[in-house]
Structure 1
Amino acid sequence: MAAVDSVRGAYADSPLARPVLALLALDGVVSAIIGAFLLPLYLGPVPFPVSAVVSGLLNAALVWAASHWTDSKRLVALPLWTWLAAVAVLSLGGPGGDIVFGGPGIMGLSVLILVALGALPAAMLLRRLP
């Protein structure tokens, strides 16, 4: 835990802190879009939500990177909040009735799988930060 304390907010006083945090927030949106569109991948006849796991690991990495650029825990969570907002927007129907999440069987729960596996690692990391 001492290693996390010594690195946290190391670049908080840098003039690049705000642009970097904005880019990390944008990366959270990109992670949600890629994770959502690659979620219905199959391994043979079985749905295999590898993109949800990858999205969760990427979100944890984005939160970890944000912790280097600010001392505020609210701003550290910015990539996770933008990821959750993008998933919420993607769960709404499109103009022609198009949907991103849904399908037969387990794919009907795809949005829950993505939120659980995508947000849990970053949320756990946020709880561990001092």
Structure 2
Amino acid sequence: MAFDTGGRCYVSDDRLGAVLRLDDEGPVVRADGLGAPQGLAVHGDDLFTVDAEHRRLWSVSLTTGECRVEAEDLAVGLPRGVERRPEPALFAHGVPGLAPRFAGLAAAPDGSLLLSSNGEGTVLRLAPNP
């Protein structure tokens, strides 16, 4: 989930392969056709999302709606050739199951993006193009 400067809320749905803006009238698709969008961050007039299935960082212009690939071959999602195994069950505080692995994204004040790389368990700093 991320918020723009106008207070509008955006969410990613990795099952639908879409990024949605939540409006009073209902959800509005801002980007679709993505494999598994996960982390979201807003920086300036751009909304960024990580497509864990295709290992890409996408940007969506909040003014024009243009979508573009900003980075590829990121260490997110399962390593190539590895199939998903069922997560082990864990019961804690009355809630069953473990949270699935997730690629997170945050915007830093200097314009870079910080990506929690669930594919290898690291945090990557992605600097903007000059």
Superposed pair shares fold, TM > 0.5: no
TM-score (norm 2): 0.21
Larger radius of gyration: 1
Higher helix share: 1
Higher strand share: 2
